[in-house]
Amino acid sequence: MSRGHLPDGWSQSEGLHLDPQTARSERPLTLVLAGAGVAPQVLAPALRGTGFERTRAVFVDYLAGEGPFDVVGMADALAAQLAPRRAGSFLVGHSLGGAVALLVAAHLESSLSGLVVSDTGLNAAGHKDPGLPERLRNDWTAEHRVSFKQSWTARPPDPGIDSALTTYLEAVDPHPLATSVESLRHVSLDEEAPKITAPTAVLHGVHDRRRSLDDARGITQAVPASSLFLFDCGHTPLIERPEEVRAVLNGLGWLPSPFAPSPRPESRGTDAAREP
């Protein structure tokens, strides 16, 4: 898969196994996990100009390589590589990637420096597309791929982003994708989430057609040091509202360097709103 245009010092992994030099680096490390079928590199613009640029960011293409492709197996593989690190480690996860990030964070407990998750949940009970695994295995037509991609955003994305999303989704083998999506249906993080001690930002698009606001609130109710930020967009604030996401990240206070103040709480439209 193409790594797209990533800043110097950032990279995209082919699978779950990190380069040993990266895993052992004394520089803070950020792992970025996109949603199922989403091109990892399209999340990069929202992270530029934030404290994540002070880290070595790896955009994990978990559908490449040899697996594992199930949520628990992916989390175990990543947690095992992060656990020995002494420098700071951060996680950014969207949708299915957010579920993996939550599980990794629960494994690492106090050794994780910070966590950002977007439009995900502690389980798939309220997921709005229960038929996706079956379509992936038995009827993954061009029409279904287009419909799947369109469900990610409330409005059409920038043409360059849309092209990257289309190219990636068309190249992905639907069978590993089906394995990852189906595995999410059998995972509950209700018991694991309270173990997360890292400061956590939960992002959610209020027009999300795949995950509900209750899913996002469930995370903040379970994770002790968490805050919820709402955006006027669909399933992908990091793609649809990169400037607003950047403003939220810059106001968190726990990234590697000091940043600007947070956006005004309870605002709508061009600003993100933070729930108490």
Give pLDDT tens digits for 211-244: 999 999 999 999 999 999 999 999 999 999 999 9
Helices (runs of H) and strands (runs of E) counted in the chain:
11, 8
Report the 10 Å Cβ neighbour count for 42: 25
Alpha-carbon torsion, ordered 5, 180, 204, 28, to 10 deg: -50
Q: Given pLDDT bands bounded at 50, 70 and 90, which one contains residue 91? A: very high
Q: Find the mean pLDDT for residues 44-64.
A: 94
Token duo for residue 266: 């309870």
Measured between alpha carbons, how far is 54 from 48 in angstroms, rounded to an integer? 10
pLDDT band with cut points at 50, 70 and 90 for residue 272:
low
Mean pLDDT of 25-40: 95
Q: By C-alpha distance, which of 28, 27, 30, 29 is closest to 43?
A: 30
pLDDT band, very low/low/confident/very high, at 271 (cuts 50, 70, 90): very low
Asked whether residue 74 is domain-assigned, the answer is yes
CA-to-CA dists, residue 100 to 14, 39, 79, 88, angstroms: 17, 16, 10, 19
Residue 1 lies in a domain: no
Give kind and range of the element (H or E) at residue 227: strand 226-231
4 occurs within a structural domain: no
pLDDT of 255 reads 86
By percentage, how much of the chain surpasses pLDDT 90? 79
**CATH code of residue 190:** 3.40.50.1820
Model confidence at 4, pLDDT cuts 50, 70, 90, reads low
Q: How many domains does one find in the chain? A: 1
Which 3 state secondary structure label does DSSP give 228?
Answer: strand
pLDDT for residue 263: 38
Q: Find out whether 208 and 235 touch, Cβ atoms under 8 Å.
A: yes
The residue-averaged pLDDT of 187-196 equals 96
Average pLDDT over residues 89-103: 98
What does each C-alpha distance from 130 to 33, 180, 181, 210 come to in angstroms?
A: 21, 13, 10, 10
How would residue 5 be classed by pLDDT, with cut points 50, 70 and 90?
low
Length of the chain: 276
Residue 266 has pLDDT above 50, yes or no: no
Q: Does the pLDDT of residue 178 top 60, yes or no?
A: yes
pLDDT at residue 269 tops 90: no
In the predicted model, what is the mean pLDDT of the chain? 90
Q: Does some domain include residue 3?
A: no
The reported pLDDT for the residue numbered 87 is 87
**Residue at 116 is within a domain:** yes
pLDDT above 50 for 276: yes
Asked whether the predicted pLDDT for residue 258 surpasses 80, the reply is: no
Mean pLDDT of 78-89: 93
As a whole number, mean pLDDT of residues 21-39 equals: 93
Q: How far apart are CA 11 and CA 131, in angstroms?
A: 33
Structure confidence at residue 68 (pLDDT): 97
- pTM of the complete model: 0.91
Scanning the structure block, which residue is given the tokens 């996990």? Answer: 33
The whole-angstrom separation of Cα 124 and Cα 46 is 26
Whether residue 235 lies inside any domain: the answer is yes
DSSP conformation class of 13: E
Nearest-angstrom CA–CA distance, 242 and 266: 18
Domain, as residue range, for 149: 11-275
Q: Does residue 256 sit within a domain? A: yes
Q: Is residue 2 part of a domain?
A: no
- DSSP alpha helix (H) spans, the chain: 20-24, 44-47, 71-82, 96-108, 132-138, 142-150, 159-171, 174-184, 213-222, 237-240, 242-250
Q: Does pLDDT of 268 surpass 60? A: no
